[in-house]
Amino acid sequence: MKVADKLLEYAIPACRKAGIQVVWLNWGLTKQDIDEMPPTIIKGFAADNNFDGPRRIKDLGSEIGPVQLEGDTVVEGGRVLMRDQWNSASYSPLKEKYQPQDILIHKNRLSGFWGGTTSEEILTSRGIRTLLFAGANTDQCVGGSLQDAFTKGWDCLLLSDGCATTSPDFAKCCIEFNCEGGWGFVLSCKDLAVGVENMQTAPGARV
């Protein structure tokens, strides 16, 4: 995955070097979440056909069954987007970069700032005012979280090549256009790394 490569090569190391708090925002539904899920969310997942091959993911909370990975490895997919399942965990190469000081937040809506998550409380309590966004899908979960954060007063930066989507290209372009135009700023993962490096080597900087 090219997106993961950019995050692993540039964005995550830059955040570690600059002491930027890393937050992993993943789906993690509970039975109560399923029972209270709005019809529009259920409809959206049922209608998603932006993928190749047979449809593996059905209703939220339903069993996926065995999943064939590269080689002969087979894993249990678990229940769709439920907490602590293989299918709701971070992509393995990214998951390997998780460190004890990182924060993991489970969400139950497209946006990580709705549905009773602890996102707002955690960020506010730490005095964090600027947020960097990466992940999937650009025009859905990432875009929804970024717009809510912007509305609530955070300064938002979108790592364009650190995001991906199964939607048509125009959907990604729309999010980037609006982010550049008013929601925040758009930059690449390498831009972030270069900026951090310049901060570290600037006259008077503490390395």
DSSP 174-188: HHHHHIIIII-EEE-
**56, part of any domain:** no
**123, part of any domain:** yes
155, 167 Cβ separation under 8 angstroms: no
Domain that holds residue 151: 2-28+91-201
Model pLDDT, residue 45: 78
**122, part of any domain:** yes
State the total domains in the chain: 1
Over its length of 207 residues, how does the chain's per-residue pLDDT go in tens digits? Answer: 799 999 999 999 999 999 999 999 999 999 999 999 999 998 887 766 655 666 567 789 999 999 999 888 999 999 999 999 999 999 999 999 999 999 999 999 999 999 888 999 999 999 999 999 999 999 999 999 999 999 999 999 999 999 999 999 999 999 999 999 999 999 999 999 999 999 977 666 554
**83, part of any domain:** no
**159, part of any domain:** yes
Query: Which pTM was predicted?
Result: 0.91
Residue type (1 letter), 64: I
Which CATH number characterizes residue 119's domain?
Answer: 3.40.50.850
**39, part of any domain:** no
**107, part of any domain:** yes
Model pLDDT, residue 23: 98
Residue 154 corresponds to which tokens in the numbers above? 């955070």
Model pLDDT, residue 207: 43
Model pLDDT, residue 48: 64
**65, part of any domain:** no
